Amino acid sequence: MDIREPMETPSPASPSRFLIVTLGGRYLALDAESICGLLTFEEAGNDKDPMIHGIMYGAINLADRLSLPNDRGGANTRIVLLSKREMRGSVRVTTVEGLLELSLSQVLPLPMQFRGPERHWYQGMILFAKSIALVLNATWVLNEEGSG
């Protein structure tokens, strides 16, 4: 019988990793813990819902859900495969900027202007490239009823 160690709650000093992407002209950050892979259009094939190793990652139109301009696929467009608990999905992003490692204390809270349903969409902000990257809530992204 396997005995698991109790899960540790990350401290504000614990490093976290985020994949920084662009979509609709905005920087967004995805917690690296929820990322299963990155694909090009060619690797994803013509299927709307990529299937990798027998697991389907249903396509999520994140641009529509966030009311962002829907960028057309270009040479740098990637499909990000996401998983959280039992939920899986794939989102198309305009570019992948890279992986950023920082402490949780560097994830800033959302400003008070975020008062409505968008408080469920984002978990905070990260200073990035003289701008900010909004940290997406992977559970909201993958939740099919997550439009509100």
DSSP string, 23-57: ETTEEEEEEGGGEEEEE-HHHH-S-SS-EETTEE-
- The answer to whether residue 148 scores a pLDDT higher than 70 is no
What's the pTM?
Answer: 0.85
Domain ranges of the chain: 16-109+116-142
Average pLDDT over residues 39-61: 86
Q: Residue 28: CB partners within 8 Å, gap ≥ 6?
A: 20, 21, 22, 93, 133, 134, 135, 136
- The answer to whether residue 47 scores a pLDDT higher than 70 is no
pLDDT tens profile 95-120: 999 999 999 899 999 999 988 899 99
pLDDT tens profile 67-91: 998 777 778 899 999 999 999 999 9
